């Protein structure tokens, strides 16, 4: 069973790829927020907008109006406000489902439930991020049929080429992502025309292990601007790289 799981993870990473060529003259930095605490919708979005930037918010309908890790989650109104202000709303399963441990029928039903939640509240639904960054080959293939792209975690930046079915993203966590790492990743992205996707959760002065501070978020934005990166939501970044 363990061997099967290892093989499945290996196959999931190396099979069923959908290539996106990077290598534009400018690097792109994207900022995303998973599960979507209320603070990401308010303070997080406001900080992005100070830099004329918009972000991507990966929503679980099952967390709407809820509390997660003692942080208040978004309301429907928060999500609709984000859309009006030009941010991207995307799917993160309805129930924050671990896609690597869930049968396909149950997973499809959970995705469907989230898409119905999006439809009910007139939210656009295009992209997807795997909760916990967890996926296997069947869920990677199924997600690629349903969504325009899928984002994982994994850390680091993407140079040269990206897999639209498993876009790599880097944590932006105040307690564990140091300033040198942020600077070096943005610098590498800028100099090589790559694509760096940050992800975080809450945005507060006193975040938990999976959140960021206003200072850390602002510092990443400032560096990206100083190094002349485009700052784009994930779906817009794909369009940027696909443009001639
Ligand atoms: Zn999540």
pLDDT digits (tens, 9 = 90+) for 73-93: 999 999 999 999 999 999 999
What local confidence, expressed as pLDDT, does residue 14 receive? 84
CATH number at residue 92: 3.20.20.370
Distance from the alpha carbon of residue 243 to the mean position of ligand 1, in angstroms: 30
Distance from the alpha carbon of residue 119 to the mean position of ligand 1, in angstroms: 21
What's the burial of 70, exposed, middle or buried (CB within 10 Å: 0-12/13-18/19+)? exposed
Does residue 9 form part of some domain? no
Whether 40 and 25 have beta carbons less than 8 Å apart is answered as no
Name the pLDDT band for 11 (thresholds 50, 70, 90).
confident
Does residue 8 form part of some domain? no
Name the pLDDT band for 126 (thresholds 50, 70, 90).
confident
Phi-psi group of 188: left, alpha or beta (phi > 0 → left; psi -120 to 50 → alpha; rest → beta): alpha
**Locate tokens 């590498």: which residue?**
188
Does residue 83 form part of some domain? yes
At 127-177, the pLDDT tens digits run: 999 999 999 999 999 999 999 999 999 999 999 999 999 999 999 999 999
At 184-240, the pLDDT tens digits run: 999 999 999 999 999 999 999 999 999 999 999 999 999 999 999 999 999 999 999
Does residue 60 form part of some domain? yes
**3-state SS assignment for residue 150:** strand
What local confidence, expressed as pLDDT, does residue 69 receive? 86
Distance from the alpha carbon of residue 208 to the mean position of ligand 1, in angstroms: 14
Residue 65: give the domain boundaries. Answer: 20-242
Phi-psi group of 102: left, alpha or beta (phi > 0 → left; psi -120 to 50 → alpha; rest → beta): beta
pLDDT exceeds 80 at position 3: no
Whether 134 and 101 have beta carbons less than 8 Å apart is answered as yes
Whether 79 and 123 have beta carbons less than 8 Å apart is answered as yes
Distance from the alpha carbon of residue 76 to the mean position of ligand 1, in angstroms: 18
Up-side HSE of residue 2: CA atoms within 13 Å toward CB?
0
What local confidence, expressed as pLDDT, does residue 9 receive? 75
Q: Which residues surround ligand 1, an ion (CB under 5 A)?
A: 34-35, 131
Does residue 2 form part of some domain? no
CA-to-CA separations, 152 to 18, 128, 226, in angstroms, rounded: 14, 9, 27
Q: Which of 4, 7, 93, 19 is nearest to 241 (CA)?
A: 19
At 51-61, the pLDDT tens digits run: 999 999 999 99
Distance from the alpha carbon of residue 144 to the mean position of ligand 1, in angstroms: 19
Does residue 6 form part of some domain? no
Does residue 208 form part of some domain? yes
What local confidence, expressed as pLDDT, does residue 1 receive? 56
* Domain count across the chain: 1
Does residue 7 form part of some domain? no
Using the Cα atoms of residue 231, residue 236, residue 242 and residue 244 in order, give the sign of their dihedral: negative
Q: What is the spatial distance between Cα 161 and Cα 232, in angstroms, rounded to a whole number?
A: 17
Distance from the alpha carbon of residue 40 to the mean position of ligand 1, in angstroms: 13
């Amino acid at each position: 069973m363990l061997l099967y799981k290892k093989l499945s993870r290996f196959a999931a990473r190396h099979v069923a790829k959908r290539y996106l060529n990077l290598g534009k003259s400018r690097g792109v930095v994207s900022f995303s927020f998973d599960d979507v605490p209320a603070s990401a919708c308010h303070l997080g979005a406001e900080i992005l907008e100070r830099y004329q930037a918009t972000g991507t918010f990966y929503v679980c309908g099952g967390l709407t109006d809820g509390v997660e890790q003692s942080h208040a989650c978004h309301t429907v109104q928060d999500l609709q406000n984000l859309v009006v202000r030009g941010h991207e709303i995307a799917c993160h399963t309805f129930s924050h489902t671990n896609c690597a441990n869930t049968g396909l029928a149950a997973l499809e039903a959970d995705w469907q439930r989230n898409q119905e939640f999006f439809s009910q509240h007139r939210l656009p639904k295009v992209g997807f991020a795997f909760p916990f960054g967890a996926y296997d080959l069947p869920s990677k293939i199924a997600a690629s049929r349903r969504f325009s792209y899928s984002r994982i975690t994994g850390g680091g930046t993407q140079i040269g080429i990206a897999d639209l079915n498993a876009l790599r993203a880097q944590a932006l966590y105040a307690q564990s992502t140091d300033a040198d790492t942020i600077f070096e990743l943005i610098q590498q992205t800028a100099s090589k025309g790559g694509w760096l996707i940050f992800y975080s959760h809450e945005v507060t002065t006193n975040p938990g292990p999976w959140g960021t501070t206003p200072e850390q978020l602002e510092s990443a934005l400032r560096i990206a601007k100083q190094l002349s990166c485009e700052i784009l939501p994930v779906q817009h970044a794909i369009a940027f790289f696909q443009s001639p």
